[in-house]
């Protein structure tokens, strides 16, 4: 036994009350639960609650409620008033932070230290940030100088993934509401609970009925929302495959869309990098949230001259990662979100080994129940291997080498995706050159996986289109019409 | 606890240094090339890593272990112009019986005093096994000639000091004269004989983490048995990120040379919570081999009483209060 054995430090789950079953949140109230399906804790496979599968009729009611709210209240409200509601939501999120953190960890499987220190605080920050925009859109927003004020689209359908359930909800709802749109949001099938708790927050904040509607369900619910004729815009975060289906489905309609899809980011380490921090950046890049991050640094591109040194340091560091009970405050890695995802990770890693990659994991004992995958490093990976091209979406790092900055750029860009990239070097001029050359929406320099509401986020190529966050992110939620078409500043004109 | 440090001559140390650097002559140019070739430290990343280790939750049995371990790693310190024989004796009595209410309480590793108080401390501590550490080499500024620094060291050793805490010449370091810094450390090491040498880098005056890393390597190269952050007379004294850089340095140094060097943060560590953050960092950065007083120390005075209060709380289940621990 090691001399300094950290005793269990479990966060209490007593702070959160989980109902036995949940209805949908439509027009300011919860419907009666029906067509129930379970949502489970991926860390031990216990059922947490049952939630309702929304059918096309339910989606129709939700969209109708959103339309009424848009035309009756929200679209006519002044920006300053909308901002007050958003500030109120942000404050409630902070006040109930522990409750959200615990619920998110139970439903998603990610460690409590991440929900506590990342997911929930940044979700609140998004509401604070966009609350500030609500009354400034007319003169500081995305419209060109002298043009009419930006106008909301109307009813926005939003579909979010299971990897950051509350945070993605915040990324979607905060800008939509700030710009005067109303929302029908569908959380992921495996992680609906934090969105349903957020519905309570909307009630607590006295948000007018119908401004936010939450419909739970599987892919068919999402499809019904996408295809609904009275939805003006779709905002989607999830897989490239579904993103493409959405784009096909709305082609030829007036619907607007932003798609934030997959990634296969290169994390590029030069021989003059601050090595100890680069190791942390590699670890954070691929093991944060068990690697279930669209912008994860899943491809380590390391300069060949320091390959052995970096891999040795990395392995030593991975030996100190603590994998286990997500509710334990000292866990660094938690559970994989679902059996389906675990199977996908397993089969891709097997394929990598079959193609010649060498697989390594630190010694760690995984819990018997639940969905678990050890932190894994694949060395000897080539550009042609599936593990170098396909998104694994798990705690699996593929290690490749390069010789020159030009080769690093070529290999980094040689992917169907283009969401993010990392550059590690002490040379400032090289950082700027690399940032210019890399075809990725976000380039992190000497850091990785930093998120801030003021900074736009989004992809190139098959990583999607549109930006979220910052001033750029507002553009996706408004029309900047020429002055001649302008009617009033209220924006309630369709 | 034993400190097994062989006496080494300055000549030996220079020869060993040439070996590590792979040069035939130890010049300032050779040292500069070597030190400036070390990987840089990114400030933001280093501080983020230290902060993240600070969020570890150490409870129950782990906390009890950490408190006792931390007490055993303290260099109980008084370094004041106003120190008297009475004050030093009193501090030594505290070291011998940290908590009169609980005889199972471990003792600190050493008592740290100015050179002229060594004999007093030595007498008070007798054969208890608690070491006497003396600051030397014109502590805290280090602004004296080399003969004075060496005499200061020999004087303390002669009076019975088991450990010498020297200061480096920060002026020489900051002007890029690494050879002078090296030579002074090596000569002081020789003057120490069998006494253990801790090299105070005064990181608050070196300012950048790159400098901390370079000074750490230079101190280890020159024969320091411990690298120590601060005199306690300059602000900032010990910080978590500075200690992080030093722990990485000793870890990598052992990998490079096979020689294990200790780390001592000093100054500003006052609470149990702080001490535990340092122990977590030792555990996860340098590794468990450093989790003993032989390889990690706290330079502190008020820390001991906070650890004792927390220890009482764990034993009795209730907080007592400052009047239930003795002031030295």
| Percentage of residues in chain A having pLDDT higher than 90 | 94
Residue A129 shares a structural domain with residue A200: yes
Residue A104 shares a structural domain with residue A29: yes
Residue A337 has pLDDT above 60, yes or no: yes
Residues of B at the A interface (Cβ-Cβ below 8 Å)? 39-42, 44-46, 48-49, 55-63, 65-66, 69, 248, 279-280, 283-284, 288, 291
Q: Per-residue pLDDT tens for A64-118?
A: 999 999 999 999 999 999 999 999 999 999 999 999 999 999 999 999 999 999 9
Q: Which residue numbers of A are catalytic?
A: 260
Helix (H, G, I), strand (E, B) or coil at A109: coil
- Quickly list DSSP for A397-427: EEEEEESSHHHHHHHHH-SS--SEEEEE-S-
Assign residue B195 the CATH number of its domain.
3.20.20.70
The confidence score (pLDDT) of residue A141 equals: 86
Q: Is residue B321 part of a domain?
A: no
Q: Best interface-test mutation with A: which of B36, B41, B42, B53 has the largest number of A CBs within 10 A?
A: B42
Q: Per-residue pLDDT tens for A290-322?
A: 999 999 999 999 999 999 999 999 999 999 999
Residues in chain B with CB shorter than 8 Å from the CB of A426 are 40, 42
C-alpha to C-alpha distance for A429 and A410, rounded to whole angstroms: 18
Q: Is residue A421 part of a domain?
A: yes
Active site residue B165: yes
By C-alpha distance, the chain A residue nearest B36 is A272
The confidence score (pLDDT) of residue A375 equals: 98
Q: Best interface-test mutation with A: which of B44, B51, B56, B57 has the largest number of A CBs within 10 A?
A: B57
By C-alpha distance, the chain A residue nearest B47 is A277
Residue A245 shares a structural domain with residue A390: no
Q: Report phi then psi at A366, rounded to 5.
A: -95, 145
Domain that holds residue B64: 16-315
Mean pLDDT of chain A: 96
The confidence score (pLDDT) of residue A248 equals: 97
The confidence score (pLDDT) of residue B5 equals: 55
A7 contacts B55? CB cut-off 8 A? no
CA distance B219 to chain A (A): 20
Residue A341 shares a structural domain with residue A436: yes
Query: In which band, very low, low, confident or very high, does the pLDDT at A14 lie, cut at 50, 70 and 90?
Result: very high
A4 contacts B62? CB cut-off 8 A? yes
Residue A241 shares a structural domain with residue A272: no
C-alpha to C-alpha distance for A388 and A412, rounded to whole angstroms: 10
Q: Is residue B135 part of a domain?
A: yes
Among B49, B55, B61, beta carbon nearest to A280 = B49
Q: Is residue B256 part of a domain?
A: yes
Each as own residue / partner, the long-range contacts of residues B32-39 (CB below 8 Å, 24 or more positions apart, any chain) are: B32/B176, B32/B178, B34/B217, B35/B178, B35/B214, B35/B217, B35/B218, B36/B214, B38/B213, B38/B214, B38/B217, B39/A272, B39/A273, B39/A274, B39/A275, B39/A276
C-alpha to C-alpha distance for B50 and B273, rounded to whole angstroms: 14
The confidence score (pLDDT) of residue A448 equals: 97
Residue A440 has pLDDT above 50, yes or no: yes
Strand order across the A266-269 sheet: A358-360, A376-379, A396-402, A299-303, A266-269, A420-424, A442-445
Residues in chain A with CB shorter than 8 Å from the CB of B45 are 274, 276-277, 280-281, 446-447
Query: In which band, very low, low, confident or very high, does the pLDDT at A149 lie, cut at 50, 70 and 90?
Result: confident
Cβ atoms B285, B63 nearer than 8 A = no
CA distance A405 to chain B (A): 19
Q: Per-residue pLDDT tens for A166-205?
A: 999 999 999 999 999 999 999 999 999 999 999 999 999 9
What ranges in B24-145 are assigned the alpha helix state H? 28-36, 43-53, 60-72, 85-96, 118-125
Among B45, B63, B291, beta carbon nearest to A274 = B45
DSSP 8-state symbol, A333:
B
Residue A254 has pLDDT above 50, yes or no: yes
Residue A238 shares a structural domain with residue A302: no
Domain that holds residue A481: 21-261+459-485
Q: Is residue A211 part of a domain?
A: yes
Task: Give every CB contact of residue A72 below 8 A, 6+ residues apart in sequence.
Answer: none
B61 contacts A5? CB cut-off 8 A? yes
* Tokens encoding A131: 């609350």
Residue A163 shares a structural domain with residue A287: no
Residues in chain B with CB shorter than 8 Å from the CB of A275 are 39
Q: Is residue B269 part of a domain?
A: yes
Q: Is residue B296 part of a domain?
A: yes
CA distance B122 to chain A (A): 32
CA distance B57 to chain A (A): 6
Q: How many domains does chain A have?
A: 2
Given the residues B75, B99, B165, B225, the one annotated as active site: B165
Residues of A at the B interface (Cβ-Cβ below 8 Å)? 2-9, 113, 117, 272-277, 280-281, 320, 329-330, 426, 446-447
| Percentage of residues in chain A having pLDDT higher than 70 | 97
Q: Per-residue pLDDT tens for A363-391?
A: 999 999 999 999 999 999 999 999 999 99
C-alpha to C-alpha distance for B74 and B293, rounded to whole angstroms: 8
Residues in chain A with CB shorter than 8 Å from the CB of B49 are 276-277, 280
Residue A249 has pLDDT above 70, yes or no: yes
Residue A165 shares a structural domain with residue A37: yes
Residues in chain B with CB shorter than 8 Å from the CB of A446 are 42, 44-45
Residues in chain B with CB shorter than 8 Å from the CB of A447 are 44-45
Residue A313 shares a structural domain with residue A375: yes
Cβ atoms A175, A477 nearer than 8 A = yes
CA distance A362 to chain B (A): 15
Q: Does a cis peptide bond (omega within 30 degrees of 0) precede residue A22?
A: no
Residue A48 shares a structural domain with residue A67: yes
Q: Is residue A298 part of a domain?
A: yes
Q: Is residue A493 part of a domain?
A: no
Q: Per-residue pLDDT tens for A222-243?
A: 999 999 999 999 999 999 999 9
Assign residue A126 the CATH number of its domain.
3.40.605.10
Query: In which band, very low, low, confident or very high, does the pLDDT at A340 lie, cut at 50, 70 and 90?
Result: very high
Q: Is residue B10 part of a domain?
A: no
Cβ atoms A417, A391 nearer than 8 A = yes
Query: In which band, very low, low, confident or very high, does the pLDDT at A392 lie, cut at 50, 70 and 90?
Result: very high
A273 contacts B55? CB cut-off 8 A? no
Query: In which band, very low, low, confident or very high, does the pLDDT at A486 lie, cut at 50, 70 and 90?
Result: very low
Residue A228 shares a structural domain with residue A305: no
Assign residue A402 the CATH number of its domain.
3.40.309.10
Among A4, A7, A276, beta carbon nearest to B59 = A7
Q: Is residue B37 part of a domain?
A: yes
B61 contacts A274? CB cut-off 8 A? no
Residues in chain A with CB shorter than 8 Å from the CB of B248 are 276
By C-alpha distance, the chain A residue nearest B287 is A320
A to B CB pairs, distance under 8 Å: 73
Query: In which band, very low, low, confident or very high, does the pLDDT at A480 lie, cut at 50, 70 and 90?
Result: confident
A7 contacts B63? CB cut-off 8 A? yes
CA distance A424 to chain B (A): 10
The confidence score (pLDDT) of residue A275 equals: 98
The confidence score (pLDDT) of residue B3 equals: 40
CA distance B117 to chain A (A): 36
Residue A187 shares a structural domain with residue A244: yes
Q: Is residue A2 part of a domain?
A: no
Weakly modelled stretches of chain B, pLDDT under 50: 1-4
B58 contacts A426? CB cut-off 8 A? no
Given the residues B228, B277, B306, B328, the one annotated as active site: B228
B56 contacts A6? CB cut-off 8 A? yes
Q: How many domains does chain B have?
A: 1
Q: Is residue B87 part of a domain?
A: yes
By C-alpha distance, the chain A residue nearest B244 is A276
Active site residue B169: no
Helix (H, G, I), strand (E, B) or coil at A234: strand
Q: Which whole-number Å values give the CA distances from B68 to A8, A275, B74, B103, B108, in the listed order? A: 19, 34, 10, 13, 10
By C-alpha distance, the chain B residue nearest A424 is B42
């Amino acid at each position: 036994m090691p001399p300094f054995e950290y005793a269990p430090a479990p966060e209490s789950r007593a702070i959160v009350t989980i109902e036995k079953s949940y209805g949908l949140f439509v027009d300011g109230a919860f419907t009666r639960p029906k067509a129930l399906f379970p949502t489970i804790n991926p860390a031990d496979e216990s059922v947490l609650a049952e939630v309702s599968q929304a059918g096309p009729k339910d989606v129709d009611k939700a969209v109708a409620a959103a339309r009424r709210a848009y035309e009756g209240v929200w679209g006519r409200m002044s920006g300053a008033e909308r901002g007050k509601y958003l500030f109120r939501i942000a404050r409630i999120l902070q006040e109930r932070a522990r409750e959200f953190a615990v619920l998110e960890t139970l439903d998603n499987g990610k460690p409590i230290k991440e929900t506590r220190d990342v997911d929930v605080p940044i979700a609140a920050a998004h509401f604070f940030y966009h609350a500030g925009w609500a009354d400034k859109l007319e003169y500081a927003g995305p419209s060109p100088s002298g043009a009419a004020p930006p106008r909301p689209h109307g009813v926005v359908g939003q579909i979010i993934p299971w990897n950051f359930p509350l945070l993605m909800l915040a990324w979607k709802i905060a800008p939509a509401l700030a710009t005067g749109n109303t929302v029908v949001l569908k959380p992921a099938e495996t992680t609906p609970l934090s969105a349903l708790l957020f519905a309570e927050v909307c009630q607590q904040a006295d948000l007018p009925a119908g401004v936010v509607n939450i419909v739970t369900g599987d892919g068919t619910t999402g499809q019904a929302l996408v295809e609904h004729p009275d939805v003006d815009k779709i905002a989607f975060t999830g897989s490239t495959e579904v993103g493409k289906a959405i784009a096909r489905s709305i082609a030829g309609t007036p619907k607007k869309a932003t798609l934030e899809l997959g990634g296969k980011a290169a994390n590029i380490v030069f021989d003059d990098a601050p090595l100890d921090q680069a190791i942390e950046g590699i670890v954070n890049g691929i093991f944060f949230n068990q690697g279930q991050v669209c912008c994860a640094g899943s491809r380590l591109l390391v300069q060949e001259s320091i390959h052995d040194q970096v891999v040795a340091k990395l392995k030593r560091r991975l030996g100190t990662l603590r994998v286990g009970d997500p509710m334990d405050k000292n866990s660094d890695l938690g559970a994989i979100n679902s059996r389906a995802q675990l199977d996908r990770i397993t089969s891709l890693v097997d394929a990598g080994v079959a193609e010649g990659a060498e697989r390594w994991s630190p010694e760690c004992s995984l819990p018997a129940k639940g969905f678990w995958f050890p932190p894994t490093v694949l060395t000897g990976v080539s550009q042609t291997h599936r593990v170098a091209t396909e998104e694994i979406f798990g705690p699996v790092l593929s290690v490749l080498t390069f010789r020159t900055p030009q080769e690093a750029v070529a290999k980094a860009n040689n992917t169907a995706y283009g969401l993010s990239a990392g550059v590690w070097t002490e040379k400032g001029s090289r950082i700027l050159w690399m940032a210019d050359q890399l075809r990725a929406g976000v380039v992190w320099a000497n850091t990785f996986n930093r998120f801030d509401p003021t900074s736009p986020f989004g992809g190139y190529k098959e990583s999607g289109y549109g930006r979220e966050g910052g001033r750029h992110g507002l553009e996706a939620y408004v029309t900047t019409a020429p002055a001649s078409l302008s009617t009033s500043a209220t924006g309630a004109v369709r | 606890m034993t400190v097994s440090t062989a006496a080494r001559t300055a000549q030996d140390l220079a020869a060993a240094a040439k070996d590590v650097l792979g040069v035939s002559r130890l010049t300032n140019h050779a040292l500069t090339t070597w030190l400036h070739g070390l990987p840089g430290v990114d400030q933001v990343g280093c501080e983020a890593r230290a902060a993240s280790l600070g969020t570890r939750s150490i409870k129950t049995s782990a906390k009890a272990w950490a408190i006792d371990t931390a007490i055993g790693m303290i260099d109980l310190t008084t370094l004041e112009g106003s120190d008297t024989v009475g004050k030093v004796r009193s501090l030594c009595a505290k070291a011998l019986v940290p908590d009169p209410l609980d005889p199972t309480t471990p003792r600190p590793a050493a008592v740290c005093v100015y050179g002229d108080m060594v004999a007093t401390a030595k007498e008070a501590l007798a054969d208890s096994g608690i070491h006497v550490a003396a600051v030397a080499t014109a502590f805290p500024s280090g602004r004296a000639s080399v003969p004075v620094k060496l005499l200061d060291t020999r004087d303390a050793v002669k009076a019975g000091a088991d450990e010498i805490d020297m200061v480096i010449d920060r002026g020489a370091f900051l002007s890029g004269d690494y050879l002078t810094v090296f030579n002074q450390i090596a000569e002081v090491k020789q003057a120490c004989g069998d006494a253990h040498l801790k090299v105070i880098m005064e990181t608050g005056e070196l300012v950048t983490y790159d400098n901390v890393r370079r000074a750490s390597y230079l101190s280890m190269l020159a024969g320091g048995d411990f690298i120590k952050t601060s005199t306690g007379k300059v602000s900032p004294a010990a910080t978590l990120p500075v200690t992080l850089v030093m722990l990485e340095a000793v870890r990598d140094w052992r990998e490079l040379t096979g020689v294990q060097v200790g780390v001592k943060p000093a100054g500003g560590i006052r609470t149990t919570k702080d001490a535990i953050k340092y122990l977590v960092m030792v555990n996860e950065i340098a590794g468990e081999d450093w989790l003993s007083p032989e390889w990690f120390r706290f330079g502190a005075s008020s820390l001991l009483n906070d650890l004792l209060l927390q220890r009482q709380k764990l034993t009795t289940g209730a907080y007592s209060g400052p009047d239930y621990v003795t002031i030295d």
